[in-house]
């Protein structure tokens, strides 16, 4: 006989636990089913451990460049790779433990460990037990995609999750994929002492960005002796006597790259292929992404999808915002929508990139006549004082309404300073509103009003 609850949540990622907290606080009985570790990608293989590694890599880089700041370190420094990895995993474990403690304190919550599979629209089986509820929430996340590239069966390839279990630093790490995950690992492993090559099919790294931002990112990485191979066609793998190799057809460079390790960072796929969703009528696209409306409702009444599996953001903050939308609509009488939020994210190389709203390319493609404010970090006082003058900042403005459309800050503190632009967009503010604000000096953010007063028409608009 099935165990009955008011609600069932499948997956304990960034949306699942806070939703369980709201539902139980509202007097509902909830079953939260998790087959692996609570906390999802962010806590276990994403934000928490990777940003811990980024911090260690930053220290290594700072020590290596200490003389530039007038600091002498006799004997230099040594990267203890195992200690670096232990630190990251310990921080991850502490965060995971905090989530577990939180869940254990929810009196109306039953935490079920195991693999959930639907046997009907509102019935789920975990092992020998069955569970039913009128409301079901999918928060099953995503995993690294493994494309069927030629020769992939001849070599061992790593995903971002696998890297945390390395015992030794790679001698030469080839990263297939020049987007956000790949770029973060590229820089950190170079700073740990590995040789690193990035292989990217597109013409630019971080292809969602404007070409000038992408080229600024490439310049930072190449300045640290990271090899970048773009326009890489016919990517293939082979095993030689010396070890694995990656073959590419590029406009320049050798056709084969010998290495010690290969990281695949070519996208992610939702964890929806083994849930038995064919028993529910929930609509998926060809990649397995759950199709949802603006309120995150699936094609089946009473079933919602939150987080990476719904294709509406694939970030920790978008997953958490999914929870906020669903909770507000179900419990607070709200009418919140996914389309109300402003796109925003960060790239956590050093310096970091903070991005929000529309890029220049996106704005022009949507038919806006745009004005652009732009300044290199070499002309930002705070960046000069810190000795971190790589990168640039940029703001995109509607020439007709003067509304702030978007911004990109690639430089020291860019991941934090970008929130000034994000908040202005969310509030529907104009660039003239922005110009009336007084910012703290010396900061990076204080230059946002300055460059907004130096607007010029975009060449394409």
The span from the CA of 176 to the CA of 202, in Å, is 11
pLDDT of residue 314: 86
The span from the CA of 277 to the CA of 113, in Å, is 19
Of 315, 377, 372, which is closest to residue 350 (Cα–Cα)? 377
pLDDT of residue 436: 85
Structural contact between residues 229 and 253, judged by C-beta atoms closer than 8 angstroms: yes
Q: Which residue among 61, 65, 204, 441 is the active-site one? A: 441
Could you list the pLDDT tens digit for every one of the 461 residues in the chain? 889 999 999 999 999 999 999 999 999 999 999 999 999 999 999 999 999 999 999 999 999 999 999 998 887 778 999 999 999 999 999 999 999 999 999 999 999 999 999 999 899 999 999 999 999 999 999 999 999 999 999 999 999 999 999 999 999 999 999 999 999 999 999 999 999 999 999 999 999 999 999 999 999 999 999 999 999 988 999 998 888 999 998 777 788 999 999 999 999 999 999 999 999 999 999 999 999 999 999 999 999 999 999 999 889 999 999 999 999 999 999 999 999 999 999 999 999 999 999 999 999 999 999 999 999 999 999 999 999 999 999 999 999 999 999 999 999 999 999 999 999 999 999 999 888 888 899 999 998 988 888 899 986 54
pTM of the predicted model as reported, rounded to 2 decimal places: 0.94
DSSP per position, 290-331: BP--TT-B-SSTTEEE-GGGGTS--SHHHHHHHHHHHHHHHH
For tokens 């190799």, name the residue.
Answer: 245
pLDDT of residue 458: 84
For tokens 């953010």, name the residue.
Answer: 445
Residues contacting residue 313 through CB under 8 Å, at least 6 positions apart: 319, 321, 322, 343
User: Is 172 in the active site?
Assistant: no
The secondary structure of 231-298, three-state, reads CCEEEEEEEECCEEEEEEECCCCCCEEECCEEEECCCEEECCCCCCHHHCCCCECCCCCECCCCCCEC
pLDDT of residue 153: 92
Structural contact between residues 237 and 256, judged by C-beta atoms closer than 8 angstroms: no
Residues contacting residue 157 through CB under 8 Å, at least 6 positions apart: 146, 237, 262, 263, 264
Q: Is the peptide bond before 351 cis (omega within 30 degrees of 0)?
A: yes
For β-strands 129-138 and 256-258, DSSP reports them as: unpaired
Structural contact between residues 137 and 326, judged by C-beta atoms closer than 8 angstroms: yes
Q: Where are the alpha helices (DSSP H) in 105-210?
A: 180-192
Kindly tell me the sign of the dihedral angle through the C-alpha atoms of 347, 350, 354, 359.
Answer: negative
Q: How many residues does the chain have?
A: 461
């Amino acid at each position: 006989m099935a165990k009955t609850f008011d609600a069932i949540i499948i997956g304990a990622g960034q949306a699942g636990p806070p939703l369980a907290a709201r539902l139980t606080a509202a007097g509902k009985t909830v079953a939260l089913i998790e087959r692996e570790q609570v906390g999802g990608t962010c806590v276990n293989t994403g934000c928490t451990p990777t940003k811990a590694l980024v911090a260690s890599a930053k220290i290594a880089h700072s020590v290596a460049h200490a003389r530039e700041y007038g600091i002498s370190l006799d004997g230099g420094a040594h990267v203890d790779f195992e200690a670096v990895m232990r630190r990251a995993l310990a921080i991850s474990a502490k965060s995971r433990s905090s989530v577990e403690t939180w869940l254990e304190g929810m009196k109306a919550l039953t935490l079920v460990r195991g693999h959930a599979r639907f046997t009907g629209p509102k019935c789920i089986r975990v092992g020998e037990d069955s569970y039913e509820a009128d409301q079901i929430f999918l928060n099953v996340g995503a995993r690294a995609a493994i494309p069927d590239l030629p020769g992939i069966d001849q070599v061992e390839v790593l995903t971002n999750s696998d890297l945390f279990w390395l015992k030794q630093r790679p001698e030469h790490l080839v990263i297939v994929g020049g987007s956000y995950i790949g770029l973060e690992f590229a820089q950190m492993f170079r700073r740990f002492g590995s040789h690193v090559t990035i292989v990217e099919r597109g013409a630019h790294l971080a292809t969602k960005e404007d070409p000038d931002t992408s080229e600024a990112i490439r310049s930072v990485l190449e300045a640290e002796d990271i090899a970048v191979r773009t326009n890489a066609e016919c990517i293939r793998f082979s095993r030689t006597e010396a070890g694995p190799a990656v073959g590419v057809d590029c406009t320049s460079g050798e056709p084969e790259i010998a290495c010690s390790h290969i990281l695949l960072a070519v996208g992610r796929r939702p964890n929806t292929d083994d849930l038995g969703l064919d028993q529910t009528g929930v609509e998926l696209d060809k990649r397995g992404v759950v199709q949802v409306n603006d309120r995150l409702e699936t094609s089946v009444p009473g079933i919602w999808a939150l987080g990476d599996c719904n294709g509406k953001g694939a970030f920790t903050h978008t997953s958490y915002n999914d929870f906020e939308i669903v909770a507000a609509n179900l419990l607070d009488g709200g009418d919140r929508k996914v389309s109300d939020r402003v796109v925003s994210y960060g790239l956590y190389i050093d310096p970091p990139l903070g991005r929000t709203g529309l890029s220049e390319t996106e704005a022009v493609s949507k038919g806006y006549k745009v004005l652009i404010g732009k300044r290199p970090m070499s002309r930002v006082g705070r960046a000069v004082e810190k000795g971190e003058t790589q990168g640039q900042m940029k703001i995109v403005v509607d020439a007709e309404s003067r509304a702030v459309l978007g911004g990109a800050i690639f430089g020291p503190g860019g991941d934090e300073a970008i929130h000034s632009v994000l908040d202005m967009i969310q509030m529907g503010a104009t660039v003239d509103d922005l110009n009336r604000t007084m910012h703290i000096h010396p900061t990076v953010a204080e230059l946002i009003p300055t460059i907004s007063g130096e607007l010029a028409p975009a060449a394409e608009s």
